[in-house]
Each structure stands twice: as C-alpha cells, then as structure tokens.
Structure 1
Amino acid sequence: MTAHTPPTEPFRDPQLPFADRIDDLLSRLTLDERISFLHQFAPAVDRLGIAAFRTGQEALHGVAWMGPATVFPQAVGLGATWNPELVRRVGDAVSKEIRAMRAKDERVGLNVWAPTVNLLRHPLWGRNEEGYSEDPKLTSAIATAYTHGLRGDHPTYWRTAPVLKHWLAHNNETDRSTTSSSVRPRVLHEYDLKAFRETVEAGAVAGVMPAYNLVNGRPNHVSPYLSTHLRAWADEDLLVCSDAGAPSNLVDSEHYFDTHEEATAASLVAGVDSFTDHGTDSSQMIGRLRGALERRLLTEADIDTAVRRQLSVRFRLGEFDPEDDPHDATGEFDTPAHRALAQEAAEQAIVLLKNDGVLPLAPEARVAVVGLLADECKLDWYSGTLIHRSTPLEGLYERFGPERVEFAEGVDRVRLKTSAGTFVHVPVVEDAADEVRGAEGALDPALLAGRTDLPALTTDATGTELALVDWGEGVLTLRAPDGRYLSVADDGCVRASADQPGGWFVQETFRLEPHGNGHLLKHLGTGRHVCVSADGVKVADEDPEVFELVVAERGEEAVARAAARADVVVVVAGNDPHINGRETEDRTTLRLPGHQERLLRAARAANPATVLALVSAYPYAVDPADLPAVLWTAHGGQAAGTALARVLAGDVSPAGRLPQTWYADDADLPGLLDYDVIGSRQTYLYFEGTPLFPFGHGLSYTTFSYGGLTARVADGSVHVSFTVTNTGDVTADEVAQLYTRAVDPSVPRPRRELLDHRRVTLAPGATTELGFQVPLSAFAFWDVAQDRWRLEPGAYELLAGASSEDVRLRTTVTLDGEPALPRAVVAGGLAAAGFDEQSGIEIVDRTKVSGDAVTPADGAAGEVVYRRCDFGRGIAGVTVEVAGEGTVELSLDGGPALAVLPTAAPTSGPYDYVSLGASVAAAGVHDVHLRLRGPLRLAHVGFSG
C-alpha cells in the first residue's frame, strides 16, 4: 500500500478537512482575485491552476438553456404527483444529465438554480408553473426530494449543488422589483419560511436565491432573515446567489440606496455571496466592491466570508479532487431509463377532476381530439430543448390507431386584407428550419425567431391563409400554413420564422385594434403597429396599415364537424407558457380564454360525450356541470401526449392530486399583493368558500376505502395509522392524506392543515396499513405575544382521507402544551408588527438593516390590535416610537380613545424616530387598539408605571 504524499498546496490535499483546505486557498488568493470571485462568472486563477466557475445552471424540470436534454413535467406537475420518491429520481436523472453535458461543454454549470420553493399562494401568479404547491408541507416534501436527487447520495461529493428560489414571499410578477410583500410574523413563520426551512434542514441544499421583491419594506437582497433564519438552519455553509440584475435594482428601480457601492456593501454584509448582474461583464460589480472597500463600507473579512461560502460549494462539488470525484465520469444522458422516467412522471402528474363514467375510453371508440393544444407539446421558459416530443394527438394515434382518431385544431383561418385591396402573403421557404437543427434534430425557436435571412412577408392579390389564435385578453398569434409563427426580428420585418412563441421578449404575439372599418395590427413585442411598405411587411412607428380580417373558417366549425362524427370528443385546452402568465407577467383572470370556450361549447353541443383535458401551468375556473369528464395536467414535457393517451385509454389509472386550490370564480381570490393568508383567508388552509376543486383532489378508475384510524401520543410525536383498501377492480395508486385541525384554538388556525401523505399502489382487493409519526412541533403555531413557536394544549382533530375535503376518518387527540399567557407589556412594551389583527395596515422596515414597523397602507388610516395585554397593577403612561407625520390613538377593548399622540412636525426621514408620550391609566388585562392616521411609521409602544 502506497503511503499518502500530500500535495505541495494543502488545498489540493483530499486527506485534509474541507475547512482547512479552504483556509489555505483563501490565504493564497490576492484581494483582487477574491473580489473577482464575487461575480456570477468567477474567472480562472491560472497561477494556482484554478478553473473559472459560474453560479447558475437552470434545472427546474430538466437541464435548461443548454440545448437538447430530457424534459420532465413542469414543477407544478411534479407537485401534482404527490410522490417525493418519484421526484427524487427525477432530480437524480437531471443531475446526471448535467454532469454528462458538462463533460462535453464547460458552459454547463454544476451550481443549479432549482427548485423553486415559493408557495403557490395565488393562482394568478405568472410563475405558478415553477412552484410545487400552495401548502408548505407538500412543497417542502417535493423540494427536499428534488434537492436530494440533484445532490446525489455520495457522503462527501455532490453531483450538483442546488440553490432554492426565490427567497422570500415572492408571488407576483406585477412590479416585482418594487413591490413589498407585507408579511405578518405568523404568516412569515407558519407559511413562507416553513417551506424553505424544512427543505434546508433536510441537508441537500447548497444555497438560496433572494427574490426581486421587498418584504416588509426591505429588499430581500439585504434581508436580515438570511442570517437570523436561513443560515441558522444549515450545518454547512450556504451560498446566496443574487437574482439577475437585482443588485442594481437596489438603486435603479427600488431607490433603496443612493449609490451602488452602498447597495453592494449592504447586500454582501446581509449575506449575498455571488452577484448576478451585467451578464458576463464583471467589471461593474468589481468596481462597486472596490469602491465599497475604499469607502470602508466593507472589510476584507466581509469579502473573505462570501468567498469562503463559494469555495465550500466548489470543494463539495469535487472541483479540487478530480481523481476522487465519483460523479466526474457520469455519462447518463437521454437514456432509456430517463425517457421512461419522463413518461412515468407525466402519467403520475395527471389529475382526474371529474368522471361520470365516460373514462376510460372504450377500446373500440372513435375519438375526436380537438383544441388548440391537441397537437402541441409546449415548452416553458425553463425547459430544455426537446429531443423527443409527444402531443395528445400523437399519443392517441399511437394508442388507438390513426383510423379511429380524427383531429381538428380549432384555429380561426383568416386572411389579412390591406386598404389597397391586396392580402398579406407568406413567401414559401423550403426547409427554413434545417440550418438551425442540432445534431439531435432539435429545433431552437429563439434562433428561428431572430433570423433576418428569411424573406419578409409581402402582399399580393390572393394572400396566404393564416391560423389565428386568440389566447385571451386580445393577445393573438398568427401561423403560416407550414406551421411557422409570424415573428419580428431586430430589423422590424415580419417573417414566418418561429417554431413556437418563446424567448424572454416574446416576438410572436399581436393584438387587433378596431380602427375605422378595420383593424390595426399591433405587435406586442415592440409595441409598434404593422405597416405595409414597398420592401415588405414590417413594424414601424408611423403609417400603420388598416387591415380587414377576412375569415375563411371559424375554429368552432371544424371542431363541431369532427365532434359530430366521433363517439367521444377530447377537447385539449389550456395555455401557452410564454403567453398571458409567465415570468414578468401575471394573469388577470381564472377564466379560460374566449376562443377556447367557444371550441369547448361547440364540441359539447355537437357531442354530449365531451371530455375536457386541460393542459396548463395553472388552474382555471371552468364550469364542469355539463361535461362528463375533466382532467388536468401541467405541461408534461417530452412524454406528455403518450401519458395523456394512456390515462384516457385506461392503461394507467390517474392518481395525480391537485397541489393547489381551484377556485370557482375570480371573486374568490384576494388581491394579488395581499400576502396575509390568515387575515384574508387564503389557500385551502383558511379559505371558507366553496372551491371548484379542493386542494388534494383527484379521482381514480377504482375506489378505495379507509378504516382503522388510531392515534396515540408518545415520545414527542403523535403516532397515527389507518388502512387503505382497493375496493375496485383496477390496480391503481391512491394518495392517502392526513390533516389536522385545532378544535378550540385561542387564535385563528387553519381549517385543516396537511401533516403528511403517502402515495401507494394497490391491486384489486389489496389492503395496506399506513403509519405516520408526526412530531408535536407540527401542531404548534407562532405565538406573536411570545415571539416564538408554542404548542397550545387542547384537542386536535386528525382527518384521514383522499383530499382536504374528502375526509373518510376522524379521531381526536388531546395534547399537552403551554397555556396562553397575557402579553407582559409593562416590561417590554409592544413590537408594532407583532399584532394579532390589523385593518388597513402594512408592515414596513424599521431601519434599512433590521426590524419592522407598521404604517397605514394607503397613507391615511389603519388599525392594529394586540390581544390580552397585561398591565399588571396599573400603568400611568404610554409612549410610542414613530417616524413621519401623523397621529396615534390608543384605546382599550374597542372603547373611546384614551390617548391621542400627534407628531409635532414631520420627522426628517422615514427612519428618524421620535418618542411621543401621554398619560394613560389602566390595570389588568385588556386588548390594545392603536389607530394610525397619516403617513407615519409606528415601531414600538411602551408603557410606564
């Protein structure tokens, strides 16, 4: 056996602990080299033999943006599987493909920005497709599984290093870099932090990415929660990577700091370790960091802390131990196993929402498959390039045979007639896409859309019939007969050049605007109107063309014909992930776009046996009353069509479950920017209305019975067990769900809350016993009076069943805990944001560094209530710490004002607090009501004897 010979540089010695090796490497790096490491694109250090490194490889549901790769279902679809073990295998496959791709292309990074842990609080959020669930427990279970798959199971070396997105309370795209999420302490701890915490504590997370928004008036990139919460949960160093452009936003859009040097220093001190800004150009950020050092806003120790965290990740990835890295030679890419897994995931993600017996389809059925997504396999912004694809039409052809399947897309077929009497013409181009197909035959839509070598549209006497689709809110796409979408390149010319709408700035969408006896055609990507000139059709600021829309056929006519000839109609409806609901753009309604509603009505009128298959990134409010069957699936990746066909045919019994509430109407929704899930009764946890379909809902082709629920308290946990039996004649999966409800809580608690779940496969007649060990901490809530978690003593109902509303078994356990105590306010006073209830109030930053204050949301008036405040034997006075201008009125138990405290004059700034005092006599326990009038901030309330 050969003795170990240490390398010259200790940082390359695999026998030493990582911490010692990092210390050694840090000591060898110059200050300039260490600063350069703080940009997303860290350069190589040739003198030490250190390679370049970049943070940020997108891998939300497969390797994204780096060319062909296996494409799995969208994240919300993976959430709908309710199957952590499946999702772990998906993460495992994705990380292996990353390693395989990196072996051929060093641009492929090992620091992966995935998964997204933001909760699906509001279904109109444009990025709904990126999250797993509205519930923190389910979200953390799925996210933990995915990160474990991405990390790999080697005890020392990680296959990839997952970074969770987006910290924190980020659930709107509208003004996302300037809006503040007002998050009261209970919502912060019980909801938004909870999903992140449980995932981080599971031990397979390398870091997080702060979100663009502010929380309680303070940008996430300078949040004290990064140190007080996030880093307290992990045993290893966590790497915090900024979101793209967010460091500059602190000054440019948020105006939170006056200079970029101040903003950069504040971010670094708060805990940001890698700055993603200005693309590959690191000079701006390096300049800001040097400026911050020169102004003594930073120290070298601050730089070293951030670099140390980066190096910790790089060492764990095996970068400095290539001979010992077990993942270095991983070559699993587009394997049969990965293809099978993509199909399995797509099948498990399908949710059967309603079925009156029309499904599964009879083997001899003649099927009409219709709709705008019937022959589509849509990708989203975080998809890889498809190597394989399967549309619903292709899946049904494969399963039933083309002779028994009829197709009608349902597009409107139109010609655009100019004011001169000519028509828009699409020049025929042979094999336009061949030049941009890769070795695997995959098409890059972005390359097609941006091409300027294809001929621009022209006009002639007959024109070209175009397929027009209205995706809702008047947003249109136009497609040439050969399938190419009309798009606009940098030169402004309109060409039929895109395989699909896509890209960061979508150039394939238009809007028809009534004008005189015709319409202007506005290109949404540029904001310009289409005009016709001597050198072709283009967009311009002047001389827009007035078009007459000549309709050759309405889509519903073709759908009705196909539907009338079939035994069963499958209407495939939903969204295009790049249109009306995506990153940077929230939806405005739950309704299905009008074009698709027309197609659905036409199919149903022609054939009562109409199945609606929704393929979408988010929920819709559809009326299922006269539909015999409804299914939903997220965009299912490369195997979407095959999976849907197998479920429709009964080869697979559907067992997906809704990961979020489906509301019946827009009126059921809170405001998009209302983050108080408790006060405004949001999500299944608090919603008191009747949902269209509840959280956890999903039907099967068989039936299941539940029995034998038992519960006992022992060893700091509640031990729960019950049986599930397949009482039908089909082998199928059931997703058994366990919820709890506090029977008589002292504060508002969830109507029911998911404790755990299990997805199991059962043959006909088979029974399984499921056991759950639920820690007592799962029954606790955040006590704002004591500023900590507290388990309240009393009765808790345990609910077992098939959804949050389909409860089959109930029992009650009585738990010991800490009784509620009045707030001891004489000694410590009241932290303003620690209220029990509020009306018209938002939480803002007490200072730029830490702390919270409250202010009227509209700058006019609001109220906060603090329950059960104990004044002991009596108080004689009250003081309030305020900034700004206005008045604080104090009353007890909702009675008349006992003290009115006005500011004599506006303070010099929002963080310049003054103390106002008044005499107040009170004793015993009372509810304190504070009414705030005017644009002032209240930080603290004190009481004196």
Structure 2
Amino acid sequence: MTAHTPPTEPFRDPQLPFARRVDDVLGRLTLDEKISFLHQFVPAVERLAIAAFRTGQEALHGVAWMGPATVFPQAVGLGATWNPDLVRRVGEAVSKEIRAMRSRDDRVGLNVWAPTVNLLRHPLWGRNEEGYSEDPKLTSAIATAYTRGLRGDHPVYWRTAPVLKHWLAHNNETDRSTTSSSVRPRVLHEYDLRAFRETVEAGAVAGVMPAYNLVNGRPNHVSPHLREHLRAWTEEELLVCSDAGAPSNLVDCEHYFGTHEEATAAALRAGVDSFTDHGTDSTRITGRLRGALDRGLLKEEDLDTAVRRQLSVRFRLGEFDPEYDPHGATGEFDTPAHRALAQEAAEQAVVLLKNDGVLPLAPDTRVAVVGLLADECKLDWYSGTLIHRSTPLEGLYERFGTERVEFAEGVDRVRLKTSGGDFLHVPAAGDAGGRVRGAEGALDPALLAGRTDLPPVTTDVAGTELALVDWGEGVLTLRAPDGRYLSVADDGRVRASVDQPGGWVVQETFRLEPHGDGHLLKHLGTGRHVCVSADGVKVADEDPEVFELVVAERGEQAVARAAAAADVVVVVAGNDPHINGRETEDRTTLRLPEHQERLLRAARAANPATVLTLVCAYPYAFDPAGLPAVLWTAHGGQAAGTALARVLAGDVSPAGRLPQTWYADDADLPGLLDYDVIGSRQTYLYFEGTPLFPFGHGLSYASFSYGDLTARAEEDTLHVSFSVTNTGDVTADEVAQLYTRAVDPSVPRPRRELLAHRRVTLAPGATAGLSFEVPLRAFAFWDVAQDRWRVEPGGYELLAGASCEDVRLRTTVTLDGEPAVARPVVAGGLTSARFDEQSGIEIVDRTKEWGDAVTPADGNRGELLYRRCDFGHGVTGVTVEVAGEGSVELSLDGGPALAVLSPAAPTSGPYDYTSISAPVVASGVHDVRLRLRGPLRLAHVGFSG
C-alpha cells in the first residue's frame, strides 16, 4: 500500500479536516480575492487553481432554467402527498440530474436554492405553489425529506447543497420589498421560525436565503435572527445567500440606509455571506465592500467569516477532492426510474375532496373532458423544460380510448375586426422558414416570447379565428389555431411566437377595454394598446385600434354539446401559474374566474354527472353542492395527465391530503399583511369558522377504521400508538394524522395542532399498527413572560383521525409541565413587544441592529396588555423609553389611568429614545394595560421601588 504523501498545499490534502483546509485557503487569499468571493458569481483564483463558483441553482421541483429536465409536481403538490419518503426520493432524483447536467454544462450550480419553507399562511399569496403547507410540522417534515434527498446520504460529501427560502415571515408579493411583517414573539417562535428550525436541525441544510420583506420594521437581510436563532441551531457553517437585488433594496426602495456601503456592511455583519445583485456584474458589490472597508464599516475578519462559510460548502460538495467525490460521475438523467417517480408523485398528490359514488369511472364510461386546463400541462416560473408531457385529455385518451373521450376546451372562438373592415390575421410560422411542430406534434420548444424572426400579425379580409382564453379579472390570452399564443417582442410587434404564457414579465396577456361601439386591446406586458398601421400590427402609445369582437362560438356552447353526449363530464378548471397570482403578484380573490364558473354551470346543466377537477396552485372557493365529485391537484409536472386519468379510472386510489385550509369565502380571510396567526385566528390552528374543506382532508376509494389508541409518557417522550384497518375492497393508502389540543390553556392555544402523521398502504382487510414517539417539547408554547419555551401542566387531548376535523379516536394525557410564574417586572421591567394581547399595535425595530419596539399601527392609537405582572412588595415609579411624539397611559387591571407619560418635545428620530418617569404606586400581581397615543415608539417600561 502506498503511503499518503501530503500535497504541498494543505487545502488539497483530503486527509485533513475541512475546517483546517478552509483556514489554509483563507490564509492564501488576498484581500481583493476575498472580496470577490462575496458576490454570487465568484471568479476563479488561477494562481491557486481554484475554479470559479456561483451560488444559486433553482430546483424547487426539478432542475429549473437550465433546459430539459424531469419535471415533478409543484411544491404544494409534493406537500399534498404527506409522504416524506416519496419527497426524499424526488430530492435524490433532482440532485442526480443536477450532477448529470453539470457534467455537460458548468453553468449548472450545485448550491441549490430550494426548498421554499415559507408557511402557506394566506391562500392569496402569489407564491402559494412554492410552499408545502400552512402547518410548520408538516412543512418541516417535507422540507427535511427534500433536503436529505438533495444532500445525498454520503457521510462526507454532499451531492448538492440546499439553501432554504425565504427567511422570514414572507407571505405576500404586494409591495414585498417594502412591507413589514409584524410578528409577535409567540408567532415568531411557534410558527414562522419553527419550520426553518426543525429542517436545519435535521442536518441536511447548507444555508438559507433571506426574504425581500422586513420583519418588525427591519429588513430580513440585516436581521439579528440570523445570528441569534439560525446559527444557534447547528454547528455546521451555514451559507446565507441574499435574494436577487435585495442588497440594493436596502437603500434604493427601503431607504433603510443612506449609502450602499453602509447597507452592504450591515448585511455582511448580520450574516449575509453571498450577495446576489446586478446579475453577473460583480463590480458594484465588490466596490461597495471596498468602500465599506475604507470607511471602517467592515474589518477583514468580517470578510473572512463569510468566505469561510462559502468555502465550507464548497469543500462539502467535493470540489477540492474530485478523486474522492462519489457524486462526480453521476449520470442519472431522465431515466425510466425518474419518469416513473414523476408519475408516482403526481398520483400521490391528487386529493379527492368529494365523491358521491361517481368515481372511480367504469371502463366503458363515455367521458367528456372540458375546460381551460383539459389539454394543458402547465409549467411555472421554477419549472424545467419538459422532455415528456401528458395533459388530462391525453391521459384519458390513453386510459379510455379516443373513441370514448370527447373534448371541448370551452374557450370563445373570435375574430378581431378592425375599423377598416379587415380582421387580424396570424401568418403561419412556416412563412418565416421555421419549424412549428416537432416529431410528436408538440410545438417547437424554440418558440419563445421575444422572437422577432417569425412573421408579425397582419390584417386581411378573412382573418384568423383566435381562441380567446379568459383567465379572470379581465386578463385574457389569444391563441392561434396551431397553438401559438400572441405575444409582443422588444420591437413592439405582435406575433404568434410562444407555446405558453410565461417569463418574468408575461408578454402574452391582454385586456379588452370597451370603447364606443367596440374595444381597445391593451397589452398588459407593456401597458400599451394594439394599433394597426401601414407598417403592421404593433403596440404603441398612440392611435389605438378600435376592434369589433366577432364571436364564432361561445365556450359554454361547446362544453354543453360535449357534456350532453357523455356519461360523465370532467371539468378541468384552475389557473395558469403565470397569470393572476405568481411571484410579484398576489391573488385578489378565492373565487374561480367567472368564465370558468360559466363553463362549470353549462356542464352541470347539460349533465348532472359532472366531476370538477381543479388543477391549480391555490385553494379556490366554490359551491360544491350538486357536484357528485371534486378533485384537486397542483400542476403535476410531466406526468400530470396520466396520473389524473389513473386516479379517475380507479387504477390508483387517491390519498393526497390538503396541506392547507380551503376557506369557503373571501370574508373568512384575514388581511394579507396581518401576520398575527394567533390574534386574528388564522390557519387551521386557530380558525374558528367552517372551512370549505379542512386541513388534512382527502377521501379514498377505500374506507378505514381506527382503533386501540394508547398513550404513555416516559421521561421526555410521549409514546402514542393506534391501529388503522382498511375496511374497503381495494388496496389504498391512508394518511393517519395525530393532533393535540390543550384542554384548559392559560393563553390562546391551537384548536388542533399536528403532532405526527404516517402514510401507509393497506390491502383490503389489512391492519397497520402505528407508533409515534412525540417529544414532550412538542406540547410547549412560547411563554412571553419568561421569554422561553414552556410546557404548561395540565390535560392535553390526543386526536387521531383522517383530517384535523375527521377525528376517529381521542384520549387525554396529563403532563406535569412547568407552572406559570408572574412577570418579575421590578427586576426587568416590560420589554414592549413581549405583550400578551394587543389592539392596533405594530411591532417595529428598536434600533437598526437589534431589538423590537411597538407603535400604533395607524400612527394614532393602540393598546397593549401584559398579564400577571409581579410588583413584589411595591414600586413607586414608572419609566418609559420612547421615541417620537405622543403619550403612554398606564393602568392596572382595567382601572383608571395611574400615569400618562409623554416627551416634552418630539425626539429627533425614530431611534432617538428618551426616558420619561412618573410616580406610580403598586404592589402584588396585576395586569398592566398600556395605551399609546400618537406616532410614538415604545421600547421598554421600567419600574422603581
């Protein structure tokens, strides 16, 4: 055996610990080289033979933005499987394809920006498709599984390095870079931090990405939570990568800092290690870092800390040990196993919401499949390019035969007549010498928005009949008979040049605006109107064309015709992931678009045996009365249509479960920017109304019984077991769910809270015994009086069943816990944001670097309540630390005001605090109530004896 000969450079020695090797690299880098490491695109250090590196490879449900790859169901669909083992296997497949693609293209990165663990608190969030669940426990279980798959199971070298998105309390797109999420301590710890924490603690996470928004008045990119919480959860060196453009936002739109040098320095000191800004141009970030160093805002040690974290990830990825990297030769790409896994995932993601016996469909059923999504396989912003595809129509053709399936898309067929009497005409793509259809009839993938080589739209006497697809809220797309959508390129010309709406700015959407006896056609991507002139059809700022809309057929007519001739109608409704709800755009309503409602009504009127199938990234609100069956699936990737057809036919019994509450009406929703899930009773945890469908809901073609629930506490663990039996006549999966409820809590606690779940496959008559080990800390809440977790003594009900509302078994356990103690306000006073209850209050930043303060949300008035404050043997005075102008009124136990404290004059700024004192006499334990008046920031209340 040959003895190991250490290389000249210790960082090249695989026998040394990573930490020592990282230190060696750091010691060799110059200051300029260290600075260069802090931009997303890190240049090579040729003198050390260190390769270039970049952070960031999108891989939310498959490899994205890098061309063809296996496309799995959207993240919310993976969440609907409630199956961590399946999701882990999806993560493995995605990471193997990343490695295989990187071997051909070094632009493919190994630092993977996935998964998204933001909780689906509000169903109108535009990025609902990217998250897993509204529940932190389920989210962390699915996210942990995906990161483990992405990481790989080698003890030393990682296949890819997952980065969790988006830290923290990010659940709105509206003004996302300037809005602040007001998050009280209990919500912070019990809800928003929890999904991140449990995933990080599982050990397969390389880092996080801060979100665009602010939390409690402070941008996430300078959040002290990165240091105080995130990095306290693990001994690994976590890499924090900024979101794109967010470093510049600190100055440009948030105006939080006066200069980019201050902002960049503050972000680096807070814990941001890699700056994603200005694309591939690193000069602005590196220039800001040099400026911050020159001004004394940063030290070289600050740079070392960030570079060390990045290098730690690169060493774990095997970059410096290519001969030992077990993943370097991975070549698994678009394999039969990956294709089968994509179908399995799509099948497991289907949720049966209602079934009055019409499903599964008999083999000889004549099916009409109708609706805007019936022959679509939609991609979203984070999808890869499809290698394979299946639509619901194609899946039903395959399963039932083309002779037994009738199709009607349900779009209006129209011509657009100009004021001169001609019609819009779409030339064939072949007129430009280009290929339109591939070998299998699919549109050429080279048909992309922005192409200028295809012939523009013209006018002639006959015109072209267009499919007018109405997506709701006046947003429509126009499609030529061969499937090409009308789009607008940079030259302003209107062309049929793309096979799907898409892009960061969607250039395929229009709006018809009534004008006189006709309509103006507004292009939403540019905000300009379509005009017809001597040099063709284009968008411009002047001389808009007034079109007459000539309707050849309404979509409802075609739907009614197909429905009347069928045994069962399958209405496929839902959303286009790029329209009316997506990154940068929240939805405005839960309702289905009116056009799709009309199609559903037309189908039901023609044939009562109508099955509504929702293919969408969001919950919708609709009336299920009179519908014999309803299903939901997220956009399911390349195998979506095949999977749906197999579920409809009964080849697979559906077992997906809702990962979030489906509310019955918009009136059930809180404000989009109300992040206080406890105070405003949000999500299944606290919602007290009647949902359309509850969290965890999903039906099966089998039936299941539950029995033998037992619970036994032992040291720090509660051992829970129960049995599940398939009482039906088909093999099927059941998702058994275990919840808890505090019987008599002293503070508001969840109505139900998920403790554990298990997805099991059971043959008819088979029984599975399920056991769960639940740590007693799972019953804890964040005690604001003690500023820590506490298990309250008393009874806790255990609820086992098929959803949060479908409870089959229950028992109660009594936990010793830890008794409450009154707040020791004499010693520590009251930290303003650690309130028990509030009304009209917003939490803001105490300083730019640390801490919270409170202020009236409307700048006028608000109220705070602190329960059971212990004044001991007595106090004689109160002091408030405030900034701004206004007053603080103090009372005890709902009594009269004991003191009103107000600065003599407004302070000079929001962080310029002053202390104001007044006499107050109190002893013993009391509830303290504070009323704030005016635009005043309250940081702290102290009491003196």
Structure-to-structure mapping, 1:876-891, within 5 angstroms = 876-891=876-891
Task: Determine whether 1:5 maps to 2:5.
Answer: yes
Instruction: Give the aligned residue type for 2:605.
Output: A
Checking the alignment, whether the CA contact within 8 Å between 1:590 and 1:666 is kept in structure 2 is: yes
Instruction: Give the corresponding residue for 1:479.
Output: 479
- The answer to whether the Cα contact below 8 Å between 1:120 and 1:128 also exists between their aligned partners in 2 is yes
Residues 86-137 of structure 1 deviation map (CA, whole Å, 9 limit, x = unaligned): 0000000000000000000000000000000000000000000000000000
Deviation at 1:875, TM superposition (A): 1.2
Structure 1 residue aligned with 2:549: 549
Deviation at 1:429, TM superposition (A): 2.2
Q: The residue matched to 1:364 in structure 2 has which SS? A: coil
Change (3 A) 1:355 1:596: same
Tell me the CA shift for residue 443 of structure 1. 6.5
- Higher alpha-carbon deviation: 570-579 or 460-469: 460-469
Distance 1:3 1:914, change over 3 A: same
The secondary structure found in structure 1 opposite 2:931 is: strand
Instruction: Return the alpha-carbon distance in structure 2 between the equivalents of residues 373 and 724 of structure 1.
Output: 37
Q: CA–CA distance in 2 between the matches of 1:210 and 1:442?
A: 39
Query: Alpha-carbon deviations, 1:207-260, whole Å to 9, x = none?
Result: 000000000000000000000000011121000000000000000000000000
Contact 2:126 2:586 in 1 (8 A): yes
Cα distance, 1:441 vs structure 2: 10
1:929 aligns with 2:915: no
Which amino acid in 2 is paired with 1:474? G
Which residue number in structure 1 is paired with residue 161 of structure 2? 161
1:431 and 1:653 mapped to 2: Cα distance?
48
CA contact (8 A) 1:433 1:443 kept: no
Matched residues in 1 for 2:377 and 2:876: separation? 71
Alignment of 1:271 with 2:265, yes or no, is no
Q: Determine the structure 1 residue equivalent to 2:312.
A: 312
Distance 2:510 2:933 in 1: 46
Residue in 1 that maps onto 2:780: 780
The alignment's TM-score, normalised by the length of structure 2, stands at: 0.99
Task: Indicate the residue corresponding to 1:798 in structure 2.
Answer: 798
What residue is the counterpart of 1:209 in the other structure? 209
User: Cα deviation per residue 1:321-368 (whole Å; 9 max; x = unaligned)?
Assistant: 000000000000000000000000000000000000000001110000
For residue 430 of structure 1, report the CA deviation from its aligned partner.
2.0
Identity %: 88
Equivalence for 2:124: 124
Letter in 2 for 1:525: G
**Match in the other structure for 1:771:** 771
- Which is further off, 868-877 or 155-164? 868-877
Structure 1 residues 573 and 433, CA gap change in structure 2 (3 angstroms): farther
Residues 810 and 690 (structure 1), Cα distance of their counterparts in 2 relative to 1, 3 Å cut: same
Distance, in Å, in 1 between the alignment partners of 2:556 and 2:685 is: 40
- AA at the equivalent of 2:467: A
Contact 1:868 1:927 in 2 (8 A): yes
State the one-letter code of the partner of 1:917. S
Distance 2:580 2:665 in 1: 18
State whether structure 2 residue 323 is matched by structure 1 residue 352.
no
Distance in 2 between residues matched to 1:219 and 1:586, nearest whole Å: 21
Tell me, what secondary structure is at the counterpart of 2:735?
Answer: strand
- Displacement of 1:446: 8.0
Q: Assess, with a 3 A threshold, how the Cα gap between structure 1 residues 769 and 431 changes in structure 2: closer, same or farther.
A: farther
One-letter identity of the residue aligned with 2:783: D
* Corresponding position of 1:237: 237
Q: Tell me, yes or no, if structure 1 residue 596 matches structure 2 residue 596.
A: yes
Q: 2:451 is matched by which residue type in structure 1?
A: R
Match of 2:829 in 1: 829
User: Aligned pair count?
Assistant: 945
2:654 aligns to what? 654
Pairwise CA distance, 1:436: 9.1
Residues 614 and 633, structure 1, Cα contact 8 Å, conserved in 2: yes
SS at match of 2:429: coil
1:420 aligns to 2:437 (yes or no): no
Q: Which residue number corresponds to residue 150 of structure 1?
A: 150
1:331 partner letter: G
CA displacement at 1:431 relative to structure 2: 8.3
Please give the alpha-carbon distance, in whole angstroms, between the structure 1 residues aligned to 2:359 and 2:715.
47
SS in 2 for 1:708: strand
Match of 2:140 in 1: 140
Q: Cα deviations across residues 712-749 of structure 1 (Å, max 9, x unaligned)?
A: 10021110000000001000000000000000000000
Secondary structure, aligned partner of 1:838: strand
Q: Is the alpha carbon distance of 1:864 and 1:319 closer, same or farther for their aligned partners in structure 2, counting shifts above 3 Å?
A: same
Aligned partners of 2:36, 2:500: CA distance in 1, in Å? 39
* Distance in 1 separating the partners of 2:162 and 2:754: 26
Cα distance in 1 for residues equivalent to 2:90 and 2:235 = 26
1:384 matched residue in structure 2 = 384
Matched residue, 1:873: 873
> What is aligned with 1:56?
56
Aligned partner of 2:185 in structure 1 is: 185
**Secondary structure of 2:192's partner?**
helix
Contact 2:430 2:436 in 1 (8 A): no
For residues 790 and 65 of structure 2, the distance between their equivalents in structure 1, rounded to whole angstroms, comes to 45
Q: Which runs of 5 or more structure 2 residues have no equivalent in the other structure?
A: none
Equivalence for 1:452: 452
Unaligned runs of 5+ residues in structure 1 are none
Deviations 1:654-703 (A, max 9, x none): 00000000000000000000000000000000000000000000000010
Q: Is 1:371 matched up with 2:371?
A: yes
Does the 8 Å CA contact 1:445/1:500 hold for their aligned counterparts?
no
Structure 2 partner of 1:500: 500
The equivalent residue for 1:394 is 394
Whether 1:667 aligns to 2:672 is: no
In structure 2, the partner of 1:677 is 677
- 1:18 alignment partner in structure 2: 18
Separation in 2, partners of 1:231, 1:627 = 51
Q: Which residue of 1 is the match for residue 302 of structure 2?
A: 302
Against the structure 1 CA distance between its residues 528 and 903, is the aligned structure 2 distance closer, same or farther, given a 3 Å change threshold? same
4+ runs of 1 displaced by more than 4 Å? 431-447
CA distance in 1, matches of 2:678, 2:767: 38
Paired residue type of 2:61: H
- C-alpha spacing 1:870/1:438, structure 2 compared with 1 (3 Å): farther
Taking a change above 3 Å as real, the CA distance of residues 413 and 810 of structure 1, as seen in their structure-2 partners, is: same
SS in 2 for 1:621: coil
Q: Is the CA contact 1:68–1:442 (under 8 Å) kept in the aligned structure 2? A: no
Using the size of structure 1 for normalisation, the TM-score is 0.99
Residue type of the partner of 1:619?
P
Residue pairs, 1:514-913, within 5 angstroms: 514-913=514-913
User: Residues 407 and 562 of structure 1 are in contact (CA less than 8 Å); yes or no, is this contact kept in structure 2?
Assistant: yes
Cα deviations across residues 456-489 of structure 1 (Å, max 9, x unaligned)? 1111112111100110110010101111000000
Q: Which amino acid aligns with 2:448?
A: L
Q: 1:67 to 1:249 in 2, by over 3 A?
A: same
- In the other structure, the counterpart of 1:509 is 509
Q: Please give the secondary structure, in 1, of the residue aligned with 2:719.
A: strand
Contact kept? 1:707, 1:724, Cα under 8 Å: yes
2 CA distance for matches of 1:441 and 1:621?
Answer: 36
Q: How much does 1:765 deviate? A: 0.1
Match of 1:86 in 2: 86
Describe the shift of the 1:447–1:563 C-alpha distance in structure 2 as closer, same or farther (beyond 3 A).
closer
Corresponding residue for 2:919?
Answer: 919
Secondary structure, counterpart of 1:339 in structure 2: helix
Which amino acid is the alignment partner of residue 75 of structure 1? A
Please say if residues 436 and 448 of structure 1, whose CA atoms lie closer than 8 Å, have aligned partners that are also in contact.
Answer: no
Cα deviation, residue 454, structure 1: 1.2
Partner of 1:327: 327
Q: Summarize the Cα distance change of 1:353–1:907 in structure 2 as closer, same or farther, 3 Å threshold.
A: same
> Contact 1:416–1:547 (CA<8 Å) still a contact in 2?
yes
Q: Alignment RMSD, CA only?
A: 1.2
SS in 2 for 1:449: coil
Q: Secondary structure of the equivalent of 2:166? A: strand
- 1:895 Cα shift? 1.7
Deviations 1:585-634, CA, capped at 9 Å, x for gaps: 00000000011000000000000000000000010001101100000000
